[in-house]
Structure 1
Amino acid sequence: MTTVLDGNAVAADVRDGLRESIETLADAGARPGLATVLMSDDPASETYVSMKQRDCEEVGIDGSHVELAPDAPAEDLFDTVADLNADPAVHGILVQMPVPDHVDKRRVLRAIDPAKDVDGFHPENVGRMVAGDPRFKPCTPHGIQKLLAAADVETEGADAVVVGRSDIVGKPITNLLIQKAPLGNATTTVCHSRTRDLAAKTREADIVVAAAGVPELVTGDMLKEGATVIDVGVNRVEADTEKGYELVGDVEFESAKERAGVITPVPGGVGPMTRAMLLYNTVKAASERADVPIDLP
């Protein structure tokens, strides 16, 4: 029997586990606060930010939101980030990507106080993760680790293949899987658009993380029997539906399900975990800033 991992259920467990810690911090005068910043009129970005704010309200985190016009000067964004860096009620800052072309994305990441960088993308936080001393793990890779733990997947000594080398998912999950730490110690291969014979690599893998952004790239015949398959992709493809499209992952789910021992669906797999781990990082940031010890789920 193939286990289909319910990301919504695992994410709900994480949120439930955070509530007591949030109230402990609130009692100490340090209720966690998350500020989101949007400089885009992209409907998907607007929806995603509103979902994050609803998540905050649900668990008791103080959420705040700043919207800037997409054609506003870049300095308006950097001034906003500077104000949030200086605000003691804000423990986490998230600037929703993508930003407009006239704004330097890397400068945005560097502008956020590393202690409030709950996305985990500031160079200081990336360096700490690579060194094995993470302040914040990036949300999607951390969520993947939580899913692996929920399914009792053994990573130690496992052969893992990560398909994709993005700064957001591919590189950090590779780093976390090779760390000498719980949910690490895997022998990990990174594959990408220049990889020769991708199927030959994935067929040898105990764990496949598909994060290439290519619809249904990984099919069932590319998998080892009983493999764990984590599908990070969310791709909109044309379909004969009311909306005219459907969402599919980077894995062809039906054929992969026939081979996999554990698999995540799209939607409802990795996506909910990304949002849950953002809350996790915000609570951790508040705890460290207030020097109030808490138990994190």
Structure 2
Amino acid sequence: MSAKIIDGKQIAADIREELTTEVAALKEKGIVPGLGVVLVGADPASQSYVTAKERACEKIGIYSDDNRLPAETSQEDLLALVNQMNNDPKINGILVQLPLPKHIDEAAVLLAIDPDKDVDGFHPMNVGKMMVGEEAFLPCTPNGILQMLMRSGVETSGAHVVVVGRSNIVGKPVANMLLQKKEGANATVTLCHTRTKDLSFHTRQADIIIAASGWPNTVTADMVKEGVVVIDVGVNRVEDASRERGYRLVGDVDFEAVKEKASMITPVPGGVGPMTITMLLYNTVVSAKRANGID
């Protein structure tokens, strides 16, 4: 029997509807959540992503301060803009789209963002707070994964979760978040990666697999047990002559084969992807509430 599909689009839509109501209530109190967005250069993927974020802000009523800068922008000028947004009370969240041009030190830019406006959850202060279980802005994709699990009724407490991938953006933070003593976590976590010996030994033990390796078919049907829950974070282009654009998008999991053994699985596209922007909006609303003393 095929797995139940975890519909990231629908879960994201549900959360955005909740946020729309919350933003409307804040506006009645004279509070308009604001997101400052910075894009340096003209990378097509980054442009598309930033445009999607801007549209999402508009739809739920968040003020978006959009700054699109030429690729030759100096690090000094970028840091000055970040500092300006740090001191702007209309801006509750700051998003500097990565990657940045090679002449700009990404770490220096992320460090310059006020941790109280770090809605991406990348500032070392927020990463440290997350690690020790203190209140902090959580990185958007990992937090979106936890929301998907909770809202799909997946029990994580006591479950064995195998995370495949050790990036600072997904693998490491989602592993840490699932270890925390809180609702929607309390899992036993094994963190694997592409250099792990006998990866299938670990994945076959998993109650939940989170695949974030960045390689197609990292997880195949022979690597999973019956009834496993699979969250596929990967987005990979593979050649496909039958498609007009010459390629199709696939995840890190062999979806067609694995869905016949899994109890639940996320598709690509339409799974984790829609949750990332949604959790950015969520963090921006939380920041606006904190700035105005609202729990």
**1:291 aligns to what?**
293
- Could you say which residue in structure 1 is the equivalent of 2:156? 155
Paired residue type of 1:280: Y
- 2:37 aligned residue: 36
CA RMSD of aligned residues (A): 0.9
2:93 paired residue number: 92
Q: Return the alpha-carbon distance in structure 2 between the equivalents of residues 3 and 274 of structure 1.
A: 21
Give the one of 260, 278, 281 matched to 1:279.
281
Matches within 5 A, 1:223-234: 223-234=224-235
CA distance in 2, matches of 1:139, 1:271: 10
> TM-score, normalising length from structure 2?
0.98
Q: In 2, Cα distance between the equivalents of 1:33 and 1:284?
A: 11
Alignment of structure 1 residues 154-193 onto 2, 5 Å: 154-193=155-194
The amino acid that maps onto 2:245 is K
- In structure 1, what is the Cα distance between the partners aligned to 2:128 and 2:68? 30
Q: Aligned equivalents of 2:258 and 2:121: distance in 1?
A: 31
User: What letter corresponds to residue 187 of structure 1 in structure 2?
Assistant: T
Query: 1:272 is matched by which residue type in structure 2?
Result: P
Q: Partners of 1:75 and 1:246 in 2: how far apart? A: 40
The equivalent of 1:249 in structure 2 is 251
Letter in 2 for 1:14: I
SS of match in other structure, 1:258: coil
**Aligned pair 1:17/2:18, yes or no?**
yes
Whether the 8 Å CA contact 1:35–1:93 is kept in 2: the answer is yes
Query: 1:6·1:269 contact (CA, 8 Å) conserved in 2?
Result: yes
**Equivalent of 1:266, from 260, 264, 268?**
268
Shift of 1:137: 1.1
Q: Deviations over 1:116-143 (max 9, x none)?
A: 0000010110011111113211100110
Give the secondary-structure state (helix, strand or coil) at the position aligned to 2:156.
coil
In the comparison of the two structures, how many residue pairs are matched? 293
1:103 aligns to what? 104
Q: Please give the TM-score of this superposition, normalised by the length of structure 1.
A: 0.97
Could you list the per-position Cα deviations for residues 216-238 of structure 1 after superposition, in whole angstroms to 9, with x for gaps in the alignment?
21111111100000000011111
Give the distance between the partners of 2:139 and 2:186, measured in 1 at CA.
18
Structure 2 residues not aligned, in runs of 5+: none
Post-superposition Cα deviations, 1:152-207, rounded to whole Å, max 9, x if no partner, equal: 11101101100000000001100011101111111100001220000111000000
Distance 1:60 1:216 in 2: 39
Q: Which string of whole-angstrom CA distances, capped at 9 and with x for unpartnered residues, describes residues 15-57 of structure 1? A: 0111221122212222100111001211110000000000000
Shift of 1:292: 2.3
Q: Residues of 1 paired with 2:27 and 2:76: CA distance? A: 34
CA distance in 1 between partners of 2:185 and 2:204 (Å): 20
Q: Distance in 2 between matches of 1:73 and 1:277?
A: 30
Of residues 228-237 and 24-33 in structure 1, the stretch that sits farther from structure 2 once superposed is 24-33
Percent identity over paired residues: 55
Is the CA contact (8 Å cut-off) linking 1:228 and 1:262 kept in structure 2? yes
Distance in 1, matches of 2:161 and 2:197, equals: 17
**8 Å Cα contact 1:221-1:255 kept in structure 2:** no
Look up the match of 2:82. Answer: 81
**Structure-1 residue corresponding to 2:220:** 219
Q: Which runs of 4+ in 1 moved over 3 A?
A: none
The residue aligned with 2:117 is 116
